[in-house]
Amino acid sequence: MRIWAKIFRDSRMKKDIVIENSDPQLTRTKKVFSALEEVCMQFDLSVPIWLDANIADFKRTAKTRFTQDSFVDPIDFDYLEFQVIEEDW
C-alpha cells in the first residue's frame, strides 16, 4: 500500500510525502493508521482525529482532508490531504 500525504496552504501544496507499507501481516486499516502516524512524525504534527466526515470521505474515495477541526494543536496550514494511491492486492 502506498499513501500520499500533502500539506496545503493558500491553495498551494507546501509539503508532500509518500509512505509505503507492504507488511502482509497488517490489515488495510492498520496500514492506514500506521501511515498517518508516520506522516505526522515526518511533518512534526500531532496525529489528527478521524471525524465522521473524514471516515465517510475515506470510505468513499480512499482520500480525505484533515483541517484544523481534526487537530488538537493549532496548525499553520489549511489542510492535510491523505490519499491511498496504490492498494495491495
Please count the other Cβ atoms lying within 10 Å of the Cβ belonging to residue 16.
13
Rounded Cα gap, residues 80 and 47, in angstroms: 11
Q: Which three cell numbers stand for residue 14?
A: 507546501
How high does pLDDT run on average in the chain?
A: 95
User: Structural domain tally of the chain?
Assistant: 1
Res. 88: pLDDT tops 90: no
Confidence at residue 89, expressed as pLDDT on a 0 to 100 scale: 61
Q: Supply the range of the domain harboring residue 14.
A: 2-86
Rounded Cα gap, residues 65 and 56, in angstroms: 11
28-54 pLDDT, tens digit per residue, is 999 999 999 999 999 999 999 999 999
Band of pLDDT at residue 59, cut at 50, 70 and 90: very high
What angle (nearest 5°) sits at the alpha carbon of residue 75, between those of residues 73 and 76?
150
Match 488538537 to its residue by C-alpha cell. Answer: 72
Reported in sequence order, the residue ranges of the chain that DSSP labels E, i.e. its strands, are: 2-9, 12-20, 63-66, 79-86
Evaluate whether 36 touches 50 at the Cβ level (below 8 Å).
Answer: no
14-23 pLDDT, tens digit per residue, is 999 999 998 8
